[in-house]
Amino acid sequence: RKEVEQDPGPFNVPEGATVAFNCTYSNSASQSFFWYRQDCRKEPKLLMSVYSSGNEDGRFTAQLNRASQYISLLIRDSKLSDSATYLCVVKRGNNRLAFGKGNQVVVIP
Protein backbone atom coordinates (compact mmCIF):
# COMPACT_ATOMS: atom_id res chain seq x y z
CA ARG A 1 0.00 0.00 0.00
CA LYS A 2 1.30 3.39 -0.96
CA GLU A 3 2.14 5.68 1.96
CA VAL A 4 0.10 8.58 0.54
CA GLU A 5 -3.04 7.86 -1.46
CA GLN A 6 -4.72 10.34 -3.80
CA ASP A 7 -7.45 10.03 -6.39
CA PRO A 8 -5.62 11.17 -9.54
CA GLY A 9 -8.74 12.50 -11.26
CA PRO A 10 -8.73 14.45 -13.53
CA PHE A 11 -10.93 16.97 -11.79
CA ASN A 12 -12.55 19.12 -14.48
CA VAL A 13 -13.59 22.36 -12.82
CA PRO A 14 -15.50 25.25 -14.40
CA GLU A 15 -13.71 28.55 -14.04
CA GLY A 16 -14.91 30.31 -10.88
CA ALA A 17 -16.08 27.13 -9.21
CA THR A 18 -14.81 25.52 -6.01
CA VAL A 19 -12.98 22.21 -6.02
CA ALA A 20 -11.91 20.09 -3.07
CA PHE A 21 -9.96 16.88 -2.75
CA ASN A 22 -8.46 14.73 -0.04
CA CYS A 23 -5.57 12.45 0.44
CA THR A 24 -4.94 9.80 3.07
CA TYR A 25 -1.66 8.76 4.63
CA SER A 26 -0.83 5.46 6.24
CA ASN A 27 2.00 6.30 8.65
CA SER A 28 0.58 7.66 11.90
CA ALA A 29 4.08 8.83 12.85
CA SER A 30 4.06 11.37 10.02
CA GLN A 31 4.98 14.76 11.36
CA SER A 32 4.46 17.39 8.72
CA PHE A 33 2.11 17.78 5.83
CA PHE A 34 2.17 19.82 2.66
CA TRP A 35 0.47 20.51 -0.62
CA TYR A 36 2.76 20.99 -3.59
CA ARG A 37 1.74 22.05 -7.06
CA GLN A 38 3.40 20.52 -10.10
CA ASP A 39 2.95 21.70 -13.66
CA CYS A 40 3.71 19.34 -16.50
CA ARG A 41 7.43 18.46 -16.65
CA LYS A 42 8.27 21.09 -14.02
CA GLU A 43 9.43 20.88 -10.45
CA PRO A 44 7.04 20.55 -7.49
CA LYS A 45 6.41 23.95 -5.94
CA LEU A 46 5.40 24.31 -2.33
CA LEU A 47 1.83 25.57 -2.20
CA MET A 48 1.30 25.47 1.54
CA SER A 49 2.15 23.64 4.71
CA VAL A 50 -0.82 22.07 6.47
CA TYR A 51 -1.32 22.62 10.18
CA SER A 52 -3.56 20.81 12.64
CA SER A 53 -5.65 23.93 13.11
CA GLY A 54 -6.15 24.28 9.37
CA ASN A 55 -4.82 27.16 7.36
CA GLU A 56 -5.81 29.42 4.53
CA ASP A 57 -3.80 31.24 1.91
CA GLY A 58 -5.93 33.38 -0.36
CA ARG A 59 -8.23 31.09 -2.31
CA PHE A 60 -6.61 27.95 -0.92
CA THR A 61 -7.64 26.24 2.32
CA ALA A 62 -5.96 23.17 3.77
CA GLN A 63 -7.16 20.94 6.59
CA LEU A 64 -5.52 18.11 8.50
CA ASN A 65 -7.38 15.37 10.35
CA ARG A 66 -4.80 13.38 12.31
CA ALA A 67 -7.35 11.00 13.81
CA SER A 68 -8.54 9.89 10.38
CA GLN A 69 -5.16 10.48 8.74
CA TYR A 70 -6.36 12.60 5.88
CA ILE A 71 -5.49 15.98 4.45
CA SER A 72 -7.70 18.14 2.29
CA LEU A 73 -7.26 21.05 -0.07
CA LEU A 74 -10.01 23.39 -1.22
CA ILE A 75 -9.62 25.88 -4.05
CA ARG A 76 -12.20 28.64 -4.31
CA ASP A 77 -12.96 30.77 -7.36
CA SER A 78 -10.85 28.57 -9.63
CA LYS A 79 -8.69 30.32 -12.20
CA LEU A 80 -7.41 28.90 -15.48
CA SER A 81 -3.91 29.22 -14.00
CA ASP A 82 -4.86 26.77 -11.24
CA SER A 83 -4.71 23.91 -13.77
CA ALA A 84 -1.95 21.66 -12.47
CA THR A 85 -1.35 18.51 -10.47
CA TYR A 86 -1.64 18.96 -6.71
CA LEU A 87 0.62 16.65 -4.76
CA CYS A 88 -0.19 15.65 -1.21
CA VAL A 89 3.10 15.29 0.64
CA VAL A 90 3.96 13.87 4.04
CA LYS A 91 7.20 14.14 5.98
CA ARG A 92 8.37 11.58 8.50
CA GLY A 93 10.88 12.14 11.23
CA ASN A 94 13.83 11.44 8.98
CA ASN A 95 12.96 14.45 6.80
CA ARG A 96 12.31 12.53 3.60
CA LEU A 97 9.11 13.44 1.79
CA ALA A 98 6.58 10.87 0.64
CA PHE A 99 4.42 11.99 -2.27
CA GLY A 100 1.00 10.99 -3.43
CA LYS A 101 0.44 10.52 -7.13
CA GLY A 102 -1.32 13.88 -7.28
CA ASN A 103 -4.77 15.23 -8.08
CA GLN A 104 -4.87 16.53 -11.65
CA VAL A 105 -7.00 19.67 -11.88
CA VAL A 106 -8.17 21.08 -15.20
CA VAL A 107 -9.96 24.41 -15.00
CA ILE A 108 -12.31 24.87 -17.93
CA PRO A 109 -13.26 28.32 -19.29
Of 24, 70, 74, 98, the residue at the interface with other proteins (CB under 8 A) is 98
Sequence-distant (≥ 6) Cβ neighbours of residue 45 within 8 angstroms: 36, 37, 38
Of 78, 99, 103, 104, the residue at the interface with other proteins (CB under 8 A) is 99
Of 45, 59, 66, 79, the residue at the interface with other proteins (CB under 8 A) is 45
Q: What is the DSSP letter of 71?
A: E
Nearest approach, Cβ of residue 11 and other proteins (Å) = 17
Q: Which stretch binds other proteins (CB under 8 A): 16-24, 54-62, 69-77, 87-95?
A: 87-95
Q: Does 75 bind other proteins (CB under 8 A)?
A: no
What number of residues does the chain have?
109
Give pairs for 61-65: CB < 8 Å, separation 24+: 62/35, 64/33
